[in-house]
Amino acid sequence: MTNEEILLVQRSWNQVLPLKEKAAELFYRKLFELDPGLRRLFTGDLEQQGTKLMQMITAAVNSLNRLGVLLPVVRELGRRHGTYGVRDEHYDTVATALLWTLEQGLGDDFTPAVKAAWIKVYGVLSQAMRMPDDAPRAA
């Protein structure tokens, strides 16, 4: 990720934050529309889950300049998600729902550059979530 991509993600997320409750609602609605089977993974209060999602995205976006700190946290989050039944293919569905939600929230500000930056950032973070700490890494 370049500094410019990080700034695009951070600035665009700051535009979404005032709409975070609606964004969470849109995200989960789209996620379950794309894959209704995912609904069974959410047994608690979906509004509370939406709040946690927005907090997690905010923390990750704010930490993009400190990947050495962020990635271990994201790996642990991925490990926990695995215990809930999340599989690798679910990450693509989440990406689609997230990008759609951002497009809804940002409107014309969801430019091709912003979209590309989010795709790159999500790719880095979702790859970390899929990779346990003890997995071999490329040098």
pLDDT per residue as tens, the chain (139 positions): 899 999 999 999 999 999 999 999 999 999 999 999 999 888 888 899 899 999 999 999 999 999 899 988 989 888 888 777 788 788 889 999 999 999 999 999 999 999 999 999 999 998 988 875 544 444 3
Domain CATH code at residue 90: 1.10.490.10
| Residue 135 located in a structural domain | no
Interhelix angle 112-130/67-83, rounded to 10 degrees, is 60
| Residue 114 located in a structural domain | yes
Short-list 9, 34, 2, CA closest to 110: 9
| Residue 69 located in a structural domain | yes
Cβ contact 12:118 at 8 Å: yes
CB within 8 A of 4, min separation 6: which ones? Answer: 117
| Residue 139 located in a structural domain | no
| Residue 137 located in a structural domain | no
What CA–CA distance (Å, rounded) separates 27 from 46?
11
| Residue 110 located in a structural domain | yes
Number of domains making up the chain: 1
| Residue 93 located in a structural domain | yes
| Residue 119 located in a structural domain | yes
pTM equals 0.86
| Domain extent for 65 | 3-130
* Chain mean position to CA 49: 13
